[in-house]
Amino acid sequence: MPSVKSCRRCGRIFNYRGSAVCDSCRKEETREAKRISEYLAGNPQATAVDISSALNIRLDRVQEYLKRHV
């Protein structure tokens, strides 16, 4: 039986299945990651602030993506 946790991103309660975020937030993280990756492909010298401003994604989420993928 899965345990119930609070999503670290939105705070909603969800059935924990190994991820700290709910399914909805995981899908949003995937969409944001794709947008960031595509932006960086065309703008390899962009800073986290540049990416955040251009894509309207919160700076902390951009920084988290960059820590994991760059």
Q: How confident is the model at residue 1 (pLDDT cuts 50, 70, 90)?
A: low
What are the DSSP calls for 14-58, one per residue? EE-SS-SS-HHHHHHHHHHHHHHHHHHHH-TT--HHHHHHHHT--
Q: Is the pLDDT of residue 70 over 80?
A: no
Rounded CA separation 50/26 (Å): 23
Number of domains into which the chain is organized = 1
Residue 48 lies in a domain: yes
* Residue 57 CB contacts under 8 Å (≥ 6 apart), including other chains: 32, 35, 36, 51
Q: Is residue 2 one of the residues assigned to a domain? A: no
Whole-prediction pTM: 0.85
Beta-bridge partner residues of 6:
13
Q: Does residue 14 sit within a domain?
A: no
Tokens 């946790």 label which residue?
Answer: 5
* Residue 46 structural domain: 23-69
Determine, yes or no, domain membership for 62: yes
Rounded CA separation 17/20 (Å): 8
> Is 49 among the domain residues?
yes
Q: Report the share of the chain in percent with pLDDT over 70.
A: 97
Q: Is the pLDDT assigned to residue 47 strictly greater than 90?
A: yes
Residue 64 has pLDDT above 90, yes or no: yes
pLDDT at 2 over 90: no
